[in-house]
Structure 1
Amino acid sequence: MREQSVFVDESGADGLDSDYYLLTLVFHDQSVPLADGVSRYEQSLAARGLPNLPFHASPLMNGHDDYSFMSVEDRLRLLAAFRVLFRYLPIRYKTFSYRKREFADAEHLSERMRRDVVNFLFDNLDYLQQFDRVKVYYDGGQHAVTQAIHDALEYALAREAVVYRAATPSEYRLSQAADYACAVELTALKYQAHEETATDRRFFGSWGTFRRNVLKTVRKKAFASTP
C-alpha cells in the first residue's frame, strides 16, 4: 500500500490581528526513507555541541521557549544546520499566502483557503491518486486551517483515503520542515514589502543574501503547477 503524508503548518492567528496568513503543506511519499538524513542531521548537532531540539523557527529567531538559554550565535548555527537538513529531505511543499486586510473576516479567509487548496489538489490529482492512503498530520491548533484542510481534502479526494492524525514539531521532523518552509515564505513576503525586522536581518542578512542563500534553495522543493 502506497501512502502519502501531508504535514501542515501555518503562520498567523485565527483572527485578523496580524498582517499575513500562510498555510504550508509538506508532502512525503512514505516509501522514501528519511532515517539516514535525519540521523546525519542529529549527528551534526552533537558534533557541534548543539542541542537536539524540535525545530521551531519563530522561538529560535526570537530566543523564546526552549531557545531562551541559547546565544544568538548558537541559534544561528541551529538554523543553518536545519537548512541543510531541509535541502536533503525527500519532500515537496506548497505554501498559500494571504494578506489579511484583504478579507472582511476569518470566515472569508477560510473559504478562500479552502478554494485554493481544492484547486491545488485538483491540479495535482494524478500524482495524489497514485497513493492508496493520504495521511494528514496537523495539530489542529487553528480552527480556520482545520476546516479548510478537512473540506478541501474530503472534496478533492475520496473521504476514506484521508486519515487525520495530530502532529507536533516535537514528534515529527517533517512537521518541523513545514514550519521552516512557512517561516521562509513569510520572511520573503516581509522582505518584498520592505517590512523585514531587525531579527530577520540578523538571521538572514539582506534581501539579496536571503534570496540567494535561503529562498532559492527552499523553493527547489516547491510544487510547480503539476509534480
Structure 2
Amino acid sequence: MISQLSKSLTSSLCRNKNYLNEFDNLIIYYDRGQSQVTKILCSVFSTVFPDKTIKFKEKVSPENYKLFQAADVVYTFELIARKIEQNKMSNSEKRFFKSNRDFKKNYFRVVKSKKI
C-alpha cells in the first residue's frame, strides 16, 4: 500500500507540476500524525520538486484549515475503500456506513468524483 500511495502521489504531482511550479514555496498541510505518510510526502515532494522549498504546516488546527479537513476526509475514505477491498473494515465502520454498497454509493462516489 505504501508503494502504491507513493506512485499515486508522484503521478498526481507530475500531472500538476506546471501549475505547482508557479508557486515559490509548497506548503503541505499535514500534522505528521502518521510517520509512514510523512516519509512518503517528504520523499515524493523532494523528488518531484528538487528545487522548491517544501514546508510542512506543523501545528495544523483542522477547524482553521478547510483544505486540511477536506484532505483528511478524502484520505479517510480512500483508506476505508481499501479496507473494503481487503475485507478488513472495523465493526464501528460497518455500523456507521451500514454496508459496503452504501459507503460506495453515498460517500466514496461523491469524493471520488471530485478527484483531480
Q: Provide the TM-score with structure 2 as the length reference.
A: 0.74
Please point out which of 156, 165, 178 is paired with 2:48.
156
Equivalenced residues, count: 114
Q: Structure 1: which 5+ residue stretches go unaligned?
A: 1-97, 99-108
Q: Structure 2: which 5+ residue stretches go unaligned?
A: none
Report the aligned-residue RMSD.
2.6
Match of 1:143 in 2: 35
User: Which of the pair is proportionally richer in strand?
Assistant: 1
* Contact 2:26–2:52 (CA under 8 A) maintained in structure 1: no
The structure that has the greater radius of gyration is 1
1:194 maps to 2:87: yes
User: Which of the pair is proportionally richer in helix?
Assistant: 2
Q: How many angstroms apart in 2 are the aligned matches of 1:146 and 1:113?
A: 15
What is the CA deviation profile of residues 162-191 of structure 1, one whole-angstrom value per residue up to 9, with x for unaligned ones?
A: 332212424423222222112211222222
Q: Which aligned pairs between 1:55-204 and structure 2 lie closer than 5 A?
A: 98=1, 109=2, 112=3, 115-116=6-7, 117-166=9-58, 167-204=60-97
Q: How many angstroms apart in 1 are the aligned matches of 2:91 and 2:29?
A: 33
When residues 197 and 142 of structure 1 are mapped into structure 2, their CA distance, relative to the original with a 3 A threshold, is closer
Q: How many angstroms apart in 2 are the aligned matches of 1:209 and 1:216?
A: 10
Q: How many angstroms apart in 2 are the aligned matches of 1:213 and 1:114?
A: 24
Quick one: higher RCO (CA 8 Å, sep 6+), 1 or 2? Answer: 1
Cα displacement (A) at 1:155: 2.1
Q: How many angstroms apart in 1 are the aligned matches of 2:56 and 2:71?
A: 16
Q: How many angstroms apart in 1 are the aligned matches of 2:12 and 2:95?
A: 34
Please point out which of 103, 108, 112 is paired with 1:215.
108
Q: How many angstroms apart in 1 are the aligned matches of 2:15 and 2:62?
A: 29
What is the CA deviation profile of residues 72-98 of structure 1, one whole-angstrom value per residue up to 9, with x for unaligned ones?
A: xxxxxxxxxxxxxxxxxxxxxxxxxx1
What is the CA deviation profile of residues 106-138 of structure 1, one whole-angstrom value per residue up to 9, with x for unaligned ones?
A: xxx5xx378523343223312322334321122
Report % sequence identity. 28
Runs (4 or more) in structure 1 with deviation over 4 Å come to none
